[in-house]
């Protein structure tokens, strides 16, 4: 029986290698995704055009402005002479933030007004936070910030009263990712996505394809045990996903400078466990779907969407309504991404990801049971 | 014991009754044909016998093994070629054959003598992908794959559908040779002309088994006179023949219509007189180039008469 299993696995590899287009997609997809997320789809703030109105023109404000210009977050678009000019630039979409330094207050304590284009609320929050930080660092300042909309009148201002001379000044230290690099978040996310895609989608499509072309009928009327059929189908995709893990990790390590702080072995181990969950999901889908298209659709809707939306890859789980937070617990990618972040970024050991490993292992057991039970020995 | 026994098997898909009370006994070494149009229930019966489908009621056994209880054992002993072309299109001829050999825990070399006659015809193309073979060669490869483990019983579901006439004849010649090796063969086909190649046939329609006999026996049950009638206007001829007094039936068969009439009607007026009367009847209806000749009934005529 071992011979037939080996022959079966060999046959599966032949299918994959003969289908050049699919193989190229499988091997290139992680590279494209990493490059897309790494360079194109980024939520990081970089070189945002800013207009500055300096009515004070003293030493302190000059120093602060030079701080702003020097930071990689902001880029000076223009020094302006009036607030109206700033509003016009907002409307034209030339700037996303305006900094207004008012004159004639106490020496050394200027009041700054921040106007931020809040059409993208997340970005606006980040921008005002960065600006405040720079302003605070560059001197004794009191910051007043205001949200603006590019085509509307300024909204009701919200004011930061930051006076380092009085009260408590927080000292912020960012752990694990001091530069707030987006790559630290999406590399684990992309790994979660790719493994689900390749293992679940390809396995389900692979099995359903045999049903569709009628070879499953012949295989069933053979002494080949169903469990061998399943094993043989899953093995090549498991190996292929290992290749993808290697691709993603080396790309993120060498190209995006994402560190691998924890044990590489543990990281690969967790990835294999997650790939197993995905394989089992693929098997389960193959027992439900009758055509390749159906298998593809189910994989996309049932697997990919939750991975993108509910795993915490794009949207933080803590901000979701409670019901979605509960549902997110059955999304394997959530646990995988947490574990990968712990190992890769935080450099934690086996003991810290015990819960995640446990959940994933439980999922494998349940899913294997379900799909072996559902896998029909007849048509 | 390489026989097949089917007893009162019923199978329904929802409201559609696919098989109704089918009982058959196919002896060891017999070449048995299931003849019937699409939807007759042939494939359902195949799937029940190959342990792929469970019957709603009734029992069936293959090689003395129950198809439900002993399904694992049966799967070692039967060869099955489903109706659809079920080989891996992206694998070569050789790879397909080797794969199916290993699935059955055997090798091509071990049973090469059994498939040699068939395989030599496709061996020149053994490096070609199965998807690139012609219909006839695909069937030969599929048959080789179904035979590679030397099965006791061979199930062939419509093996000649979509295959050219020359390859069909070759295919039946191969089945004859396999039969001589002692393999029991159950084959289905929608082509009535292939029925005469079987030892015995079962005519099926609408999930029922209409009659089971040797091809000669079935032809012998046709108790009417049969004529092939032609004229210049074939469609009008069909309608007119059906209006002939005492006409039994008239069906279009290729280039002629098969017109049947009860024996006593013909004998009352005499064979030659009947043909003259028919000729006169058709001439009166405006037909020209009329040709009427008595013919022997084929399986299809018997099938239509049932």
In CATH terms, the fold of domain A48-148 is abc type-2 transporter like fold (3.40.1710)
Please, which residues bridge with residue A226 across strands?
none
pLDDT digits (tens, 9 = 90+) for B88-132: 999 999 999 999 999 888 888 988 888 888 888 888 998 999 989
At residue A158, the pLDDT reads 41
Across the interface, of B75, B86, B90, the residue whose CB is closest to A214 is: B86
> Which of A218, A225, A229 is the best substitution to test chain B (most B C-beta atoms within 10 A)?
A218
Strands (E), B47-169: 57-62, 65-66, 78-81, 153-156
Instruction: Please state the ipTM of this predicted complex.
Output: 0.82
Among chain A residues, CA nearest to B94? A11
Q: Is B47 on the interface with A (CB under 8 A)?
A: yes
Q: Which helix (H) or strand (E) holds B212?
A: strand B208-213
- Mean pLDDT across chain A: 81
Cβ under 8 Å to A: B residues 181-240: none
For domain B4-219, the CATH superfamily is P-loop containing nucleotide triphosphate hydrolases (3.40.50.300)
Across the interface, of B75, B80, B90, the residue whose CB is closest to A19 is: B90
Domain B4-219 and domain B222-305, same fold? Reply is no
Nearest of A24, A31, A39, A33 to residue A304 by alpha carbon: A33
For domain B222-305, which architecture applies? 2-Layer Sandwich (3.30)
**A222 contacts B104? CB cut-off 8 A:** yes
C-alpha span between B8 and A88 (Å, rounded): 89
Q: Is B91 on the interface with A (CB under 8 A)?
A: yes
Contact list in A for residue B51 (CB cut-off 8 A) is 221, 378
- Lowest-pLDDT range, A98-112, A206-220, A347-361, B286-300? A98-112
Any idea what the Cα angle at residue B250 is, between residues B245 and B256, rounded to 5°?
A: 125
A149: exposed, middle or buried (Cβ count in 10 Å: 0-12, 13-18, 19+):
middle
Any idea what the Cα angle at residue B237 is, between residues B231 and B241, rounded to 5°?
A: 120
Please, which residues bridge with residue B226 across strands?
B260
At residue A151, the pLDDT reads 45
- Lowest-pLDDT range, A44-48, B3-7, B176-180? A44-48
**A215 contacts B105? CB cut-off 8 A:** no
Instruction: Dig out the tokens for A222 from the structure.
Output: 């053979």
Alpha-carbon radius of gyration of chain A: 27
Across the interface, of B71, B85, B102, the residue whose CB is closest to A7 is: B102
Q: How far is A218 from chain B (nearest CA, A)?
A: 7
CA B52 vs CA A8, A16, B111, B261: distances in Å: 21, 28, 26, 44
Per DSSP bridges, beta strands A74-79 and A110-117 are unpaired
Three-class secondary structure assignment of A147-200:
EECCCCCCCCCECCCCCCCCCCCCCCCCCCCCCCCCHHHHHHHHHHHHHHHHHH
Sorted by where each begins, the domain ranges of chain B are 4-219, 222-305
Among chain A residues, CA nearest to B49? A221
- Mean pLDDT across chain B: 90
Tally DSSP H helices, then E strands, for chain A: 15, 5
pLDDT digits (tens, 9 = 90+) for A152-201: 444 333 444 444 444 455 666 777 777 767 778 888 888 888 888 888 88
- Lowest-pLDDT range, A129-133, B19-23, B72-76? A129-133
At residue A163, the pLDDT reads 45
- In a 3-state reduction of DSSP, which class is residue A49? strand
Confidence label for A369 from pLDDT (cuts 50, 70 and 90) = confident
Across the interface, of A6, A7, A378, the residue whose CB is closest to B52 is: A378
Sorted by where each begins, the domain ranges of chain A are 2-41+184-374, 48-148
Residues from A contacting B (CB-CB < 8 Å) are 1, 3-4, 6-8, 11, 14-15, 18-19, 213-215, 217-224, 377-379
pLDDT digits (tens, 9 = 90+) for B160-205: 888 888 888 988 999 999 999 899 999 999 888 888 899 999 999 9
- Lowest-pLDDT range, A142-151, A369-378, B213-222? A142-151
Cα–chain center distance at B89: 26
């Amino acid at each position: 029986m071992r011979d037939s299993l080996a022959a079966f696995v060999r046959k599966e590899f032949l299918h994959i290698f003969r289908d050049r287009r699919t193989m190229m997609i499988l091997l290139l997809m992680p590279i494209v995704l990493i490059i897309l997320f790494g360079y194109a789809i980024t939520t990081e703030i970089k070189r945002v055009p800013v207009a500055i109105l300096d009515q004070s023109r003293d030493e302190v404000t000059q120093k602060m402005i030079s701080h702003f210009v020097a930071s990689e977050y902001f880029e000076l678009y223009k020094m302006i002479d009036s607030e109206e000019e700033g509003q016009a630039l907002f409307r034209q979409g030339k700037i996303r933030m305006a900094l207004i330094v008012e004159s004639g207050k106490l020496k050394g304590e200027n009041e700054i007004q921040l106007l931020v284009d809040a059409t993208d609320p997340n970005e606006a929050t980040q921008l005002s936070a960065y600006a405040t930080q720079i302003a605070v660092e560059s001197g004794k300042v009191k910051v007043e910030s205001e949200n603006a909309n590019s085509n509307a009148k300024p909204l009701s201002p919200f004011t930061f009263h930051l006076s380092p001379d009085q009260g408590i000044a927080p000292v912020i230290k960012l752990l694990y990712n001091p530069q707030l690099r987006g790559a630290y978040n999406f590399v684990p996310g992309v790994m979660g996505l790719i493994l689900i895609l390749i293992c679940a989608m390809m396995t389900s499509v692979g099995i359903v394809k045999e049903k569709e072309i009628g070879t499953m009928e012949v295989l069933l009327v053979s002494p080949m045990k169903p469990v061998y059929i399943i094993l043989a189908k899953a093995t090549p995709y498991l190996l292929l996903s290992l290749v993808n893990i290697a691709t993603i990790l080396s790309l993120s390590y060498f190209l995006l400078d994402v560190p691998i702080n924890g044990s590489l072995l543990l990281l690969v181990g967790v990835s294999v466990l997650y790939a197993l969950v995905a394989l089992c999901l693929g098997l389960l889908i193959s027992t439900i779907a009758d055509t390749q298209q159906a298998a593809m659709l189910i994989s996309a809707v049932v697997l990919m969407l939750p991975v993108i939306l509910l795993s915490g890859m794009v949207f933080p789980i803590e901000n979701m309504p409670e019901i979605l937070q509960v549902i997110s617990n059955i999304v394997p990618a959530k646990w995988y991404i947490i574990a990968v972040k712990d190992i890769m970024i935080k450099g934690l050991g086996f003991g810290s990801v015990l819960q995640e490993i446990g959940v994933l292992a439980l999922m494998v057991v349940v899913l294997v049971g379900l799909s072996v039970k559902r896998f029909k020995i007849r048509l | 014991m390489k026989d097949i026994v089917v007893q009162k098997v019923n199978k329904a898909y929802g409201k559609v009754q696919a098989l109704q009370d089918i009982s058959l006994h196919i002896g060891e070494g017999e070449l048995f044909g299931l003849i019937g149009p699409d939807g007759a229930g042939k494939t359902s019966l195949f799937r029940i016998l190959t342990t792929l489908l469970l019957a709603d009621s009734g029992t069936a056994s293959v090689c003395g093994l129950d198809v439900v209880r002993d399904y694992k054992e049966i799967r070692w002993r039967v060869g099955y070629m489903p109706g659809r072309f079920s080989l891996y299109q992206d694998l070569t001829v050789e790879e397909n054959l080797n794969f199916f050999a290993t699935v059955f825990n055997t090798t091509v070399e071990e049973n090469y003598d059994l498939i040699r006659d068939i395989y030599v015809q496709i061996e020149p193309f053994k490096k070609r992908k199965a998807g690139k073979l012609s219909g006839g060669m695909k069937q030969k490869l599929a048959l080789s794959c179904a035979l590679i483990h030397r099965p006791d019983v061979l199930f062939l579901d419509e093996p000649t559908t979509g295959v050219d006439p020359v390859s069909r004849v070759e295919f039946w010649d191969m089945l004859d040779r396999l039969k001589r090796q002692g393999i029991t063969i159950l084959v289905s086909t929608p082509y009535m002309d292939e029925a005469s190649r079987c030892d015995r046939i079962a005519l099926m329609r609408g999930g029922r088994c209409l009659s089971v006999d040797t091809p000669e026996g079935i032809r012998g049950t046709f108790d009417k006179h049969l004529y092939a009638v032609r004229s210049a206007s074939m469609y009008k001829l069909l309608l007119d023949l059906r209006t002939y007094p005492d006409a039994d039936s008239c069906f279009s068969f290729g280039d002629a219509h098969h017109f049947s009439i009860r024996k006593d009607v013909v004998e009352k007026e005499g064979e030659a007189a009947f043909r003259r009367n028919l000729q006169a009847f058709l001439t009166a209806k405006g037909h020209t180039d009329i040709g009427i000749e008595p013919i022997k009934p084929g399986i299809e005529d018997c099938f239509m008469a049932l």
